[in-house]
Structure 1
Amino acid sequence: MEESKRRSQGWFGKTGKDGLIYRSWFKKQGIPTHELNGKPIIGICNTWSELTPCNSHFRELAEFVKKGVLEAGGYPVEFPVMSLGETVMKPTAMLYRNLASMDTEESIRANPLDGVVLLCGCDKTTPSLVMGACSVDLPTIVVSGGPMLTGRYRGTSVSTSDIWRFSEEARAGKMTQEELFIAESGLCRSDGHCAVMGTASTMACMVESLGLSLPGNAAIPAPDSARKVLAHLSGMEIVKMVENDLKLSDILTREAFENAIMVNAAIGGSTNFVIHLLAIAGRMGIDLSLEDFDKFSSNIPLLANLQPSGMYFMEDLYYAGGLPAIIRQLKDHLHNDCITVNGKAIGKNNELFENFNEKVIAAIDNPFNETSGIVVLKGNLCETGAIIKPSAASPHLMKHTGKAIVFEDIDEYKNKIDDPDLDIDENSVMVLKNVGPKGYPGMPEVGNMGLPPKVLAKGITDMIRISDGRMSGTGFGTVVLHASPEAAEGGNFAVVRTGDLIELDVKARKLNLLVSEEELAKRKAAWKKPEVPTERGYVSLYIKHVEQANLGADLDFLKGGSGSEVTKDSH
């Protein structure tokens, strides 16, 4: 791109009063004039925060990005945006994904940036930054923080997926609180996000499969020196992207989204992938539907033997060859000519990567599991859709009819689930309402409800669970999620009652409430919309404008983008 046409020169290339103000205030940081005289200005969008432990190493990582930018002839400027700590934010980090995307979008658009590096790791930081950047459409590259090292407990490998197992064992009286304290000290033993194919790792794989990061970005462990090298190389690459005017709209084509869905099936990615990819597609104006996730993953087997669908960890995936080794296995299925951030096609980028461990990465003609991907369910219990992850479910429950045990909200679930008098057994179908986008609000990760102690005592480890909420990517079980319309919207899901029969048939893609249309109409006529918890601030804005899960749960007025133009000077 010619220097005179660079976006930053709309600030630093001006003469007169405006140019004087823009340059002089910037130069107070010790910046010499030549750094602002036509060099590409590269923004490093950083989600570092001590409240987001997954991203706690990002200040150091940003320094390596800066080295790369400087080496390639650009000038780096680091800026913060809202950081979303998945494990500590209440009521749920998902409530603030769209807010963080607005922060990202407006920070990029309002400032003298020619290109952007997105530093993201924890679950919601990746989709929120990508969503915001998409609505501006500048040259952009993603650097993920990387997974943490595999945990250890009593001589065995453990991870955040074991939280659910430890919790159930404690509730069944098989683990003491003291043992839980010991276990938790070994779960998270280094910088980085979850060590399994949870949502954070899924998001890192998502951006790599979309072409938004350099090859190998997804699996390099956070403490590994290769992560710093990748950050350095990404800093160099973003300068080239600016020079070649390679923007997000050039990379994020319909075919790129289809590639991401196929790769997600092969890795056993998180169910949260669906809601985030839909939101990103909405920002790009790509017509992506819930049905596409079933369509493009149905013929892709599970290749990655990683928890929670398998037994290994992200660290093992890296040693086995990383995501590029999986992408290479999928070459006969993918759109191999899709362009990526380094200007090369995704097929070309990954054609030389080898698989060093077929226990971790199975060959395409001998997959780890024929069952993979995301199955989209339809029926009168989820008129506009629900999803299930078959690779994490129990085969014997994939076709089942059982009596509904309904919890009207998360508080009722917590108050009743441990009651020995609760009329529930392993054949029942647990239903949790009012944990969707509007109903909670924010759609928390509570869909993989813990089982009642009376069932756990029998040695039962799985039951069918259905909700309008989400579950952690580290979770597992026969869990139906994202039922829409959600209960707070007043559809059939809002009026299911304890004792109703529910039919699940995953192979037939069906989820039905076996209640007559007349009875359902009668119940809906008597249904009352829940009260809005607040009429002020962002939460009020969110409840009024958030779309349903099958559309990506973005705010309706954020669909698409406004581009990078700033039409008014402030001085």
Structure 2
Amino acid sequence: MNQDNKSNKSGSPAQKPLRSAQWFGTQDKNGFMYRSWMKNQGIPEHHFHGKPIIGICNTWSELTPCNSSFRELAESVRRGILEAGGVPVEFPVFSNGESNLRPSAMLTRNLAAMDVEESIRGNPIDGVVLLVGCDKTTPALVMGAASCDLPTIVVTGGPMLNGKHKGKDVGSGTLVWRMSEDYKAGKISLQEFMDAEADMSRSTGTCNTMGTASTMACMVESLGLSLPQNAAIPAVDSRRKTLAYASGMRIVSMVNEDLCLSKLITRDSVINAIRTNAAIGGSTNAVIHLKAIAARLDIPLALDDWHSYGHQIPTLVNLQPSGEFLMEDFYYAGGLPAVLKRLGDANLLHKDCLTANGKTLWENNRDAPCYNDNVIRPLTNPLCDNGGICILRGNLAPRGAVLKPSAASPHLMKHRGRAVVFESFDHYKTRIMDDDLDVDANSVMVLKNCGPKGYPGMPEVGNMGLPPKLLKQGITDMVRISDARMSGTAFGTVVLHVAPEAQEFGPLAAVQDGDWIALDAANGSLELEVSDSDIDKRLAALRAQQPSPKTGGYLQLYIEHVMQADEGCDFDFLVGCRGAAVPSHSH
């Protein structure tokens, strides 16, 4: 059989004309100039004829410490591409790391996605390797690549090694939240708190808890966008470089097979990711990011799908902040393949979804071993019976809100209490320290104006620290409600992503001190015990007095075009797949 007529499992021809040939394949003035300019880097003539040009999309930055190892990681990818007969071309894109970037990396997720999309579409590349790490770089790069729909593979930077503090393993992020509360409660001194700084982050890599970075790495692997074991190999483990090398080799074959993103990200693979998120005790941020990724490929995904497909899935992965262990332990126990094996054995996966290595998800994982049943628990002994993201609706959240059951306190999952309201995060920071604040353990803390438009950028402040006077009484959790997000490393009975947000005059904006609020997670309800007419009157009064400030610049673009949390917080004009076609250019 003629090789050109062979097909792979995706049903596509094994060969197709290289996209880069539009730049480098002509014997005319344009081809001359494109090749000549590239040759100033020492690229030999034969690399422009029949070899796929592979982009290495790099989010390396010293201001994104999670991604600080990516120079070296990119070299491993580069060597793999060369061995497989491709031509590597590395290019930078905006690196939006959560640890340093103010006011929130979520504000620039869409900016980074625009950078990625236009960099891919406008340049002579046939396939792309996405180097991702800190949590927003993963969805940003996948979103941008999805709108181009070229052959794409993801390489994650990997998590940090376990933190070590006073002889115990400690989790990045989670340690901060716990020790900060202990300090405010008077349990530890300021010096003890500060001494833990160096203990938490002792190697390069992303957070070593099941925070958003690790969650999104698991989402990528469950979607089939990476090679197996991509999610959990520690950043400093030599096997991370080996995987990067193999990914560089594989992307060349993916170009030859025309295995583009739309053949990997499907409705079924997204449902697999929802179920995986439940099994790993993943971050609530995955709700927003998966919606945005799906929408780039016009895949229908509703907030209620998280309830329909994920709510009854048990949490199997015993990792902080929901459980005990850390990502290093997770990898040694078998990593995500062991989780997918257990879900598949229970028929909780769409097994025939195609993955980046050309095999189905089940072919990759059906024989995956588990080496530690305490880290990755069997379905008969889960960490949490119903671990999927809880979707809440009611007159306080008409378009929905989310809660993470595996990180919440069971006794607060059905609760009724009086509202203590903070009109903004600055108001919260001032008011929470007041010893005369009218608040008790049964109160419901409500934070407004921290949503997509309200902050703007929807920061990770929804897990509000408790009032110091209650911490000193031994109170460790309260119901908290906001239109904000929270870090995947955080914990507590925290209701997030309330939609519509307060800035858009959702009912959240109408909550006042002393209002009664009822939460019933089992029934998915979140109710403000105020009549509809009174809510409408309050909102009308707010509309009459609220100005519409003009900020200019990217902030103005963001406020005018960002969609609500239930829609994925993408820009309205970025939804959909625009493809990789680009008008020809004549010099």
| TM-score normalised according to structure 2 size | 0.96
3-state SS, counterpart of residue 245 of structure 2? helix
Partner residue in 1 for 2:575: 559
Within a 5 Å distance, the mapping from 1:148-159 to structure 2 comes to: 148-159=160-171
User: Residues of 1 paired with 2:399 and 2:531: CA distance?
Assistant: 19
Give the direction of change, closer, same or farther, for the CA distance of 1:4–1:359 in structure 2 (3 Å limit). closer
Q: Contact conserved, 1:488 with 1:530, CA < 8 A, in 2?
A: no
- The structure 1 residue matched to 2:98, chosen from 86, 97, 101, is 86
Q: Contact conserved, 2:130 with 2:153, CA < 8 A, in 1?
A: yes
3-state SS, counterpart of residue 434 of structure 1? coil
Give 1:181 shift. 2.0
Give 1:521 shift. 1.7
Give the direction of change, closer, same or farther, for the CA distance of 1:174–1:280 in structure 2 (3 Å limit). same
Q: Contact conserved, 2:312 with 2:386, CA < 8 A, in 1?
A: no
- The structure 2 residue matched to 1:244, chosen from 253, 257, 266, is 257
- The structure 1 residue matched to 2:70, chosen from 55, 58, 69, is 58
Structure 1 residue 474 corresponds to structure 2 residue 486: no
Partner residue in 2 for 1:437: 452
Within a 5 Å distance, the mapping from 1:400-479 to structure 2 comes to: 400-479=415-494
User: Residues of 2 paired with 1:260 and 1:103: CA distance?
Assistant: 25
Q: Which amino acid aligns with 2:134?
A: C
Q: Which amino acid aligns with 2:537?
A: K
Q: Which amino acid aligns with 2:394?
A: G
Give 1:369 shift. 2.1
- Structure 1 gaps, min length 5: none
Structure 1 residue 537 corresponds to structure 2 residue 566: no
Partner residue in 2 for 1:225: 238
Give the direction of change, closer, same or farther, for the CA distance of 1:15–1:233 in structure 2 (3 Å limit). same
Query: Per-residue CA shift, 1:396-439, capped at 9, x if unaligned?
Result: 10111100000000010001101000000110000000000000
User: Residues of 2 paired with 1:159 and 1:494: CA distance?
Assistant: 35
Q: Contact conserved, 1:3 with 1:39, CA < 8 A, in 2?
A: no
RMSD (CA atoms): 1.1
Query: Per-residue CA shift, 1:521-541, capped at 9, x if unaligned?
Result: 211221127444544211101
User: Residues of 2 paired with 1:368 and 1:415: CA distance?
Assistant: 37
Judge which range, 92-101 or 526-535, deviates more.
Answer: 526-535
Give the direction of change, closer, same or farther, for the CA distance of 1:183–1:570 in structure 2 (3 Å limit). farther
Partner residue in 1 for 2:116: 104
3-state SS, counterpart of residue 300 of structure 1? coil
User: Residues of 2 paired with 1:531 and 1:329: CA distance?
Assistant: 53
Give 1:178 shift. 1.6
User: Residues of 2 paired with 1:34 and 1:372: CA distance?
Assistant: 54
User: Residues of 2 paired with 1:2 and 1:21: CA distance?
Assistant: 30
User: Residues of 1 paired with 2:388 and 2:239: CA distance?
Assistant: 30
Within a 5 Å distance, the mapping from 1:115-514 to structure 2 comes to: 115-160=127-172, 161-331=174-344, 332-514=347-529
User: Residues of 2 paired with 1:525 and 1:352: CA distance?
Assistant: 60
Judge which range, 477-486 or 10-19, deviates more.
Answer: 10-19
User: Residues of 2 paired with 1:350 and 1:88: CA distance?
Assistant: 36
3-state SS, counterpart of residue 72 of structure 2? helix
User: Residues of 2 paired with 1:538 and 1:220: CA distance?
Assistant: 36
User: Residues of 1 paired with 2:546 and 2:364: CA distance?
Assistant: 51
Give 1:35 shift. 1.0
3-state SS, counterpart of residue 322 of structure 2? coil
3-state SS, counterpart of residue 556 of structure 1? coil
User: Residues of 1 paired with 2:20 and 2:367: CA distance?
Assistant: 38
Query: Per-residue CA shift, 1:126-158, capped at 9, x if unaligned?
Result: 000000000000000000000000001111111
User: Residues of 1 paired with 2:565 and 2:549: CA distance?
Assistant: 20
3-state SS, counterpart of residue 398 of structure 2? strand
Q: Contact conserved, 1:3 with 1:9, CA < 8 A, in 2?
A: no
3-state SS, counterpart of residue 193 of structure 1? coil
Give the direction of change, closer, same or farther, for the CA distance of 1:105–1:23 in structure 2 (3 Å limit). same
Partner residue in 2 for 1:31: 43
Query: Per-residue CA shift, 1:240-296, capped at 9, x if unaligned?
Result: 100100000111110000000001100000000000000001101000000001111
Q: Contact conserved, 1:3 with 1:38, CA < 8 A, in 2?
A: no
User: Residues of 2 paired with 1:395 and 1:535: CA distance?
Assistant: 43
User: Residues of 2 paired with 1:2 and 1:479: CA distance?
Assistant: 49
User: Residues of 1 paired with 2:290 and 2:432: CA distance?
Assistant: 33
User: Residues of 2 paired with 1:335 and 1:365: CA distance?
Assistant: 21
Give the direction of change, closer, same or farther, for the CA distance of 1:64–1:461 in structure 2 (3 Å limit). same
User: Residues of 1 paired with 2:210 and 2:246: CA distance?
Assistant: 25
Q: Contact conserved, 1:294 with 1:376, CA < 8 A, in 2?
A: yes
Q: Contact conserved, 1:151 with 1:158, CA < 8 A, in 2?
A: yes
User: Residues of 1 paired with 2:366 and 2:14: CA distance?
Assistant: 33
Q: Which amino acid aligns with 1:284?
A: L
3-state SS, counterpart of residue 242 of structure 2? helix
3-state SS, counterpart of residue 402 of structure 1? strand
Judge which range, 365-374 or 6-15, deviates more.
Answer: 365-374
Query: Per-residue CA shift, 1:429-460, capped at 9, x if unaligned?
Result: 00000000000000000000000011101111
Give 1:352 shift. 1.6
Q: Which amino acid aligns with 2:559?
A: I
Give 1:36 shift. 1.4
Q: Contact conserved, 2:97 with 2:134, CA < 8 A, in 1?
A: yes
User: Residues of 2 paired with 1:570 and 1:122: CA distance?
Assistant: 39
User: Residues of 2 paired with 1:181 and 1:516: CA distance?
Assistant: 48
Partner residue in 2 for 1:68: 80
User: Residues of 2 paired with 1:488 and 1:415: CA distance?
Assistant: 21
Identity of aligned residues (%): 61
- The structure 2 residue matched to 1:546, chosen from 558, 562, 583, is 562
3-state SS, counterpart of residue 527 of structure 1? helix
User: Residues of 2 paired with 1:131 and 1:316: CA distance?
Assistant: 30
Give 1:177 shift. 2.2
Structure 1 residue 40 corresponds to structure 2 residue 56: no
Q: Contact conserved, 1:4 with 1:38, CA < 8 A, in 2?
A: no
Give 1:176 shift. 2.0
Structure 1 residue 526 corresponds to structure 2 residue 541: yes
User: Residues of 2 paired with 1:564 and 1:369: CA distance?
Assistant: 43
Give 1:489 shift. 0.6
Q: Which amino acid aligns with 2:103?
A: P
Give 1:299 shift. 2.4
Give 1:3 shift. 7.2
Query: Per-residue CA shift, 1:74-97, capped at 9, x if unaligned?
Result: 010000000011011111110000
Give the direction of change, closer, same or farther, for the CA distance of 1:570–1:268 in structure 2 (3 Å limit). farther
Q: Contact conserved, 2:14 with 2:257, CA < 8 A, in 1?
A: no
Give the direction of change, closer, same or farther, for the CA distance of 1:120–1:319 in structure 2 (3 Å limit). same
Runs of 4+ in 1 over 6 A off after TM superposition: 1-4
Structure 1 residue 18 corresponds to structure 2 residue 30: yes
3-state SS, counterpart of residue 99 of structure 2? coil
Q: Contact conserved, 1:196 with 1:307, CA < 8 A, in 2?
A: yes
Corresponding pairs, count: 571
